[in-house]
């Protein structure tokens, strides 16, 4: 119940103010607007009543002849405090028994958040009034955001997908920007681990990249995926502190710093390499300088970490741009671990035949780069894709050198490599099940290289193209036997009343891992010219419903990006078929979906204890 508010200046003379007003936040009376609640004599002693006043949820209580009001939403999980009970001035939430000082809202649990308490008064008209600050709604929103951030930190520490989901839902409902949530996750993931760049921070970056292409109903779920993965890879203890070099009158030149950086990465001395990166950041060198250091070191070795070092470094720079380099001092650090600790494939027997072929080419890099920059030539991406899929890597790398010397843009070769990787993925036979990561790695790596050539091009980076081409060639065995790809014109033996029904069927095929049927449906959908954005949202939803791992997210992003880059219908088709195959073929669980759905139900005020399948 509520009526038009009266300001404190309009307070009738002689109104009774409760002596012990709650004092969590002492407000000047002129800052308050008093709202009538209900007749004071309708309360039993110890009774609580709920009110909704001007957008604020309140629980008002009478206890030992005095009145009190607090936020009606328990800071733990939102249970209505008006349903709680009061014992000796202590308000007890009945759901998980958190206890609060009724007068001030202080929580007795060491790590529990306080309840906001509000001043109340009984006036001459016999009604109970509550004083809300002007701008209480905005203040409440800020409180919820700050509480949500603390809750998120706790959820990450506890590795609880439900608490993470609850914090994300609360933050989103309070109007926190995704950028704030992603920045917190990136910073936590970098700071609370001594490990390298993790799948969690990469997924958060992918959430930022794909935000507008995913159904808004799936936004929370996307964030929860990244944050849960971060919680699993962090221990809660902090990375040892490292500082940039002390300022000196004469600073080191970049050539020296880069030589040192490569030397320390080569020697696997992470601490020294980290300090150099931190010094560059501290001295205000921009992304292009930092990126040049990192990508040169990443390609100093052969396909470092199955391409992950280069791929994660690209994600790191995308993430830093997204959060406007807020917290860069921490977010930059993990990539050094990827540079020093991941497999260098020149040390593996698998690459023993390619190293002697590539080494002579790498002695000519400066020449190749010079010619490339001086000349200009077009690349038939579709034809060169077939070249890259050839059986023997020796003529392939020779042709790459020839194209580069002719002046072909390296990004076009990366696009062809990405297209070829899509074909490798679409032709990946289900019987190879243990090697799915390999096709995802080359697909994501080729796309990362395409991105990096746009902001940190160099002669040294050309090595990344040759590394990728050789790895793609090694994966030809994963297409033997090659899986069927739906033929152009191939359709399902059923008709659909609407596009929505068709997409529902897509979801069903995915649920039952009917991989080939899902691919034929996508083939038909594209040929019928239906809305591709809706198909992309459906595919993203299929992925997000599962406890998906990083490679699935990577494949999704690459498919979306390269679908948009090309006008070639067959190339477009192949990217979406590759993503469909990769995502629908994985057999997973749905714990993250259930945690997020429960958190969202709670936020809507639904009770988890109620069945949701009643008629």
Q: Give the residue with the Cβ less far from ligand FES, 27 or 164.
A: 164
| Binding-site size, ligand FES (CB under 6 A) | 8
Minimum Å gap between C-beta 595 and ligand FES is 16
The yes or no reply on residue 58 touching ligand FES (CB under 6 A) is no
The yes or no reply on residue 537 touching ligand FES (CB under 6 A) is no
Q: Give the residue with the Cβ less far from ligand FES, 71 or 218.
A: 71
Q: Give the residue with the Cβ less far from ligand FES, 80 or 390.
A: 80
Burial class (CB in 10 A: 0-12, 13-18, 19+), 429: middle
- 591-603 and 161-173 helices, crossing angle to 10°: 40
Q: Give the residue with the Cβ less far from ligand FES, 68 or 428.
A: 68
Select from 74, 86, 336, 340 the one that contacts ligand FES (CB under 6 A): 74
Select from 60, 93, 310, 465 the one that contacts ligand FES (CB under 6 A): 93
Subset of 262-291 contacting ligand FES (CB under 6 A):
none
Contacts of 450 (CB under 8 A, 6+ apart): 411, 414, 415, 418
The yes or no reply on residue 103 touching ligand FES (CB under 6 A) is no
Express the helix, strand and coil content of the chain in percent, nearest 5 each. 55, 10, 35
Query: CB 300: neighbour CB atoms within 10 A?
Result: 15
Contacts of 2 (CB under 8 A, 6+ apart): 35, 36, 37, 51, 52, 53, 54
Q: Give the residue with the Cβ less far from ligand FES, 102 or 558.
A: 102
Minimum Å gap between C-beta 112 and ligand FES is 8
Q: Which listed range, 73-81, 294-302, 305-313, 534-542, lies at the site for ligand FES (CB under 6 A)?
A: 73-81
Select from 68, 79, 222, 582 the one that contacts ligand FES (CB under 6 A): 79
Q: Which listed range, 71-79, 226-234, 435-443, 447-455, lies at the site for ligand FES (CB under 6 A)?
A: 71-79
Select from 98, 100, 188, 293 the one that contacts ligand FES (CB under 6 A): 98
Q: Give the residue with the Cβ less far from ligand FES, 134 or 604.
A: 604
Q: Give the residue with the Cβ less far from ligand FES, 79 or 303.
A: 79
The yes or no reply on residue 96 touching ligand FES (CB under 6 A) is yes
The yes or no reply on residue 76 touching ligand FES (CB under 6 A) is yes
Of 575, 561, 562, 571, the closest CA to residue 383 belongs to 571
Minimum Å gap between C-beta 482 and ligand FES is 55
Contact 147, 40 (CB under 8 A): no
- Cα–Cα distance between 329 and 314 in angstroms, integer? 17
**Residue found under tokens 């939430």:** 93
Q: Give the residue with the Cβ less far from ligand FES, 32 or 59.
A: 59
- Cα–Cα distance between 613 and 615 in angstroms, integer? 7
Q: Which listed range, 74-82, 134-142, 163-171, 309-317, lies at the site for ligand FES (CB under 6 A)?
A: 74-82
Select from 5, 29, 66, 95 the one that contacts ligand FES (CB under 6 A): 95
The torsion region of residue 123 among left (phi > 0), alpha (psi -120 to 50) and beta comes to: beta
- Cα–Cα distance between 457 and 426 in angstroms, integer? 30
Q: Give the residue with the Cβ less far from ligand FES, 74 or 389.
A: 74
Minimum Å gap between C-beta 229 and ligand FES is 26
Minimum Å gap between C-beta 154 and ligand FES is 13
- Cα–Cα distance between 462 and 401 in angstroms, integer? 10
Contacts of 72 (CB under 8 A, 6+ apart): 50, 51, 57, 58, 59, 80, 81, 82
Q: Which listed range, 89-97, 223-231, 260-268, 509-517, lies at the site for ligand FES (CB under 6 A)?
A: 89-97
The two structure tokens encoding residue 451: 């991105």
The residue count for the chain: 615
**Half-sphere exposure of residue 271, counting CA atoms within 13 Å on the CB side?**
4
Minimum Å gap between C-beta 96 and ligand FES is 3
Q: Give the residue with the Cβ less far from ligand FES, 52 or 96.
A: 96
Of 342, 300, 319, the closest CA to residue 183 belongs to 319
Burial class (CB in 10 A: 0-12, 13-18, 19+), 193: buried
Contacts of 499 (CB under 8 A, 6+ apart): 525, 530, 531, 534
Q: Which listed range, 94-102, 345-353, 379-387, 394-402, lies at the site for ligand FES (CB under 6 A)?
A: 94-102
Select from 40, 60, 77, 579 the one that contacts ligand FES (CB under 6 A): 77
- Cα–Cα distance between 488 and 72 in angstroms, integer? 59
- The CA angle 229-234-238, to the nearest 5 degrees, is 150
**Residue found under tokens 């991941």:** 342
The yes or no reply on residue 217 touching ligand FES (CB under 6 A) is no
Minimum Å gap between C-beta 57 and ligand FES is 14
The yes or no reply on residue 86 touching ligand FES (CB under 6 A) is no
Minimum Å gap between C-beta 263 and ligand FES is 55
- Cα–Cα distance between 48 and 45 in angstroms, integer? 9
Site string for ligand FES, 351-370 (x = CB under 6 A): --------------------
Q: Which listed range, 75-83, 268-276, 534-542, 571-579, lies at the site for ligand FES (CB under 6 A)?
A: 75-83
Contact 212, 163 (CB under 8 A): no
The yes or no reply on residue 100 touching ligand FES (CB under 6 A) is no
Query: CB 3: neighbour CB atoms within 10 A?
Result: 10
The yes or no reply on residue 452 touching ligand FES (CB under 6 A) is no
The yes or no reply on residue 21 touching ligand FES (CB under 6 A) is no
The yes or no reply on residue 162 touching ligand FES (CB under 6 A) is no
- Chain residues binding ligand FES by CB under 6 A are 74, 76-77, 79, 93, 95-96, 98
């Amino acid at each position: 119940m509520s009526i038009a508010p009266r300001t404190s200046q309009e307070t009738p003379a002689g109104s009774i103010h409760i002596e012990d007003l709650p004092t969590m936040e002492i407000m000047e009376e002129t800052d308050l607007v008093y709202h009538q609640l209900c007749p004071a004599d309708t309360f039993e002693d110890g009774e609580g009543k709920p009110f909704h006043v001007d957008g604020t949820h309140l629980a008002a209580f009478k206890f030992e002849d005095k009145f009190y009001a607090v936020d009606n939403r328990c800071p733990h999980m939102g249970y209505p405090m008006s349903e709680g009970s009061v014992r000796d001035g202590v308000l007890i939430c009945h759901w998980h028994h958190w206890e609060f000082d009724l007068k001030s809202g202080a929580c007795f649990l060491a790590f529990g958040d306080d309840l906001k308490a509000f001043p109340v008064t009984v006036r001459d008209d016999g009604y109970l009034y509550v004083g809300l600050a002007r701008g209480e709604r905005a203040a409440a929103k800020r409180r919820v955001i700050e509480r949500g951030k603390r809750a998120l930190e706790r959820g990450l520490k506890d590795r609880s997908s439900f608490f993470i989901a609850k914090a994300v839902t609360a933050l989103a409902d309070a109007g926190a920007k995704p950028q704030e949530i992603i920045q917190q996750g990136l910073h936590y993931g970098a700071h609370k681990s001594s490990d390298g760049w993790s799948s969690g921070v990469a997924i958060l970056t992918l959430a930022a990249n794909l935000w507008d292409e995913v159904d808004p109903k799936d936004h929370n779920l996307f964030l929860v995926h990244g944050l849960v993965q971060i919680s699993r890879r962090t221990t809660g203890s902090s990375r040892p502190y490292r500082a940039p070099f002390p300022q000196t009158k004469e600073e080191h030149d970049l050539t020296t710093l880069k030589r040192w950086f490569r030397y320390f990465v080569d020697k696997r001395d992470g601490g020294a390499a980290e300090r150099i990166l931190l010094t560059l950041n501290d001295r205000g060198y921009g992304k292009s300088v930092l990126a040049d250091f990192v990508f040169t070191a990443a390609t100093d070795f052969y396909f470092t970490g199955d391409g992950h070092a280069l791929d994660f470094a690209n994600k790191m720079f995308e993430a830093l741009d997204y959060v406007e380099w807020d917290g860069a001092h921490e977010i930059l650090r993990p990539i050094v671990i990827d540079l020093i600790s991941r497999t260098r494939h020149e040390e593996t027997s698998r690459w023993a035949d390619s190293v002697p072929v590539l080494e002579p080419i790498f002695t000519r890099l400066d020449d190749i780069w010079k010619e490339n920059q001086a000349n200009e030539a077009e690349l038939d991406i579709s034809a060169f894709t077939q070249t890259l899929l050839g059986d023997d890597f020796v003529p392939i790398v020779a042709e790459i050198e020839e194209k580069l010397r002719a002046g072909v843009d390296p990004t076009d070769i990366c696009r062809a490599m990405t297209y070829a990787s899509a074909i490798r993925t679409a032709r990946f036979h289900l019987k190879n099940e243990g090697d799915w990561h390999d096709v995802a790695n080359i697909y994501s790596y080729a796309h990362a290289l395409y991105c990096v050539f746009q902001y940190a091009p160099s002669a040294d980076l050309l090595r990344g193209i040759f590394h990728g081409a050789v790895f793609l060639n090694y994966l030809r065995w994963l297409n033997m036997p090659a899986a069927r790809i739906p033929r152009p014109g191939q359709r399902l033996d059923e008709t659909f009343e609407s596009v929505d029904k068709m997409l529902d069927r897509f979801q069903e095929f995915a649920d039952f891992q009917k991989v080939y049927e899902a691919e034929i449906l996508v083939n038909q959908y594209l040929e019928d010219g239906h809305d591709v954005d809706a198909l992309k949202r459906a595919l993203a939803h299929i992925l997000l419903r599962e406890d998906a791992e990083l490679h699935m997210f990577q494949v999704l992003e690459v498919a979306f990006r390269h679908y948009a880059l090309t006008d070639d219908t067959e190339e477009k088709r192949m990217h979406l078929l590759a993503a469909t195959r990769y995502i629908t073929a994985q057999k997973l669980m749905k714990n993250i979906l259930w945690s997020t759905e429960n958190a969202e139900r709670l936020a809507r005020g639904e009770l988890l204890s109620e069945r949701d399948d009643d008629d």
